[in-house]
Structure 1
């Protein structure tokens, strides 16, 4: 019996990075769906931010902007925040501008780059660059503000995005009392939910962030991150390559990171949510 026979119409679509996959709830295995317009529609339907909006409101955004693909190292935003980017897939890093008190953050699918600026025009625009291939819906800032002024559901969705950004800061990034390896495990667990790419061995993995990026996100030195990475590797929780990170057990990773996983894993060992 072929592998494809394990998947049925009842299988759920899941988003891994910028790709759509089918997931079999019984086996936990995933397979690639399709590329092109159909996959793009699925990315939009599954996007955590866009899924909050009615179809007509989503269409307003698409008509006002454009779907664009960016490569690793490309800058999405810089000295001026002329565009709002809704991340459909990929991994990006926001870094504070000179003199700003903001901290470095890594984002994936569902992030709204420029959300705070839509509501507060005086906020400084952080430098944002892609850590791997990234797909966004890009809308001019002025147009986004105009739509938000007349669309209460969009304003509400942006407000929730800002609130979630603050909550993630406390839940993932600002846990300075924990050992660095625990904080790093928590960050990895969070990023696996938002910007994974396919992994042959474990279903999904992370690709793109350097150790310097991870150090900036956790406000520690690169040497401290190197030590934490060695500890996670020694404990069998992490397999590394060149800017790739694979995880034999997401359940154990989450336990070490002291974070909760809201849904069943799609990778690693079969396990329930914790």
Structure 2
């Protein structure tokens, strides 16, 4: 399993997280386990990844400006992406598997969203023009990028646009999503979320910060989350998913999990 910038062993029966890989082995693991890259045939994946530059960024570093000239495949970390359409602004929080700039690959006329890192982030970067050339010559990669776009639309409906639910349920659902894409190691529960502020969470759900503060209080009272400065820990992920009305294919059992 991927936690932060490392790849760890994970026992599904015991819920225990083992020691992580390091160095080049960790990078290869991050590439092989990446939700986007793992869909590519291994030879294609290796050739594709070799055309990119590995970029390590810190919190508040800007990955993409208003003129998005670089495409980033997120290997690990948490990224705040803001899109503007006239007076309307949409915020999405991305993690492993996201391809920042994928829409502009297919639609050059689109206005590029801005993107900044919320914690330590590792990406594979390639100029947008080069990515367009790759897509023109590889139907396999073009199809995989198309799936990324489709996944973004699905996530928008299943995570961000559930306005019929209570704010605390929407926030719980967002946490489940971020645990799947942006988790970092946690000595108490195996993994946690680190990086987004309450304001970032509010922007992503299109609610006020006060609404998020109240939603967090409800989750804390139910012992579904404990909070620190830009840190969110979850004593029981299954209960979190259930409360947030999220159905997941494979939920990590937390509560007794320890990093060995």
TM normalised by structure 2 equals: 0.95
In the alignment, which of 188, 198, 202 is matched to residue 215 of structure 1?
A: 202
Cα offset, 1:28, TM superposition? 1.2
CA deviation string 1:198-226 (max 9, x = no partner): 00110000000000000000000001110
How far apart, CA to CA, are the structure 2 residues paired with 1:58 and 1:102? 34
How far apart, CA to CA, are the structure 1 residues paired with 2:223 and 2:162? 23
Cα offset, 1:230, TM superposition? 0.7
Q: Which residue of 2 aligns with 1:136?
A: 123
How far apart, CA to CA, are the structure 2 residues paired with 1:140 and 1:101? 28
In the alignment, which of 191, 207, 212 is matched to residue 204 of structure 1?
A: 191
Structure 2: 5+ residue stretches without partners? none
How far apart, CA to CA, are the structure 2 residues paired with 1:139 and 1:61? 10
CA deviation string 1:65-84 (max 9, x = no partner): 20110000000001111110
Structure 1: 5+ residue stretches without partners? 1-13
Structure 1 outlier segments of 4+, above 6 Å: none
How far apart, CA to CA, are the structure 2 residues paired with 1:38 and 1:66? 17
How far apart, CA to CA, are the structure 2 residues paired with 1:108 and 1:17? 10
Q: 1:88 to 1:266 in 2, by over 3 A?
A: farther
TM normalised by structure 1 equals: 0.90
SS at match of 1:201: coil
How far apart, CA to CA, are the structure 2 residues paired with 1:102 and 1:168? 17
Q: 1:108 to 1:152 in 2, by over 3 A?
A: same
Q: Which residue of 2 aligns with 1:176?
A: 163
| Cα-Cα RMSD | 1.4
Q: Which residue of 1 aligns with 2:110?
A: 123
Say if 2:211 is the partner of 1:224: yes
In the alignment, which of 22, 25, 35 is matched to residue 35 of structure 1?
A: 22
Q: Does the aligned pair in 2 maintain the 1:149–1:155 contact within 8 Å?
A: yes
SS at match of 1:104: strand
In the alignment, which of 89, 92, 95 is matched to residue 82 of structure 2?
A: 95
In the alignment, which of 32, 44, 55 is matched to residue 42 of structure 2?
A: 55
In the alignment of these two chains, the number of paired residues is: 257
How far apart, CA to CA, are the structure 2 residues paired with 1:117 and 1:237? 38
SS at match of 1:158: helix
Say if 2:31 is the partner of 1:19: no
CA deviation string 1:225-257 (max 9, x = no partner): 100011100111010000000000000000111
Q: 1:123 to 1:101 in 2, by over 3 A?
A: farther
Ranked by relative contact order (alpha carbons within 8 Å, sequence separation 6 or more), the top structure is 2
Of 148-157 and 55-64, more deviation after overlay is shown by 55-64
How far apart, CA to CA, are the structure 1 residues paired with 2:254 and 2:77? 18
Q: Which residue of 2 aligns with 1:163?
A: 150
Q: Does the aligned pair in 1 maintain the 2:236–2:253 contact within 8 Å?
A: no
Q: Does the aligned pair in 1 maintain the 2:194–2:231 contact within 8 Å?
A: yes
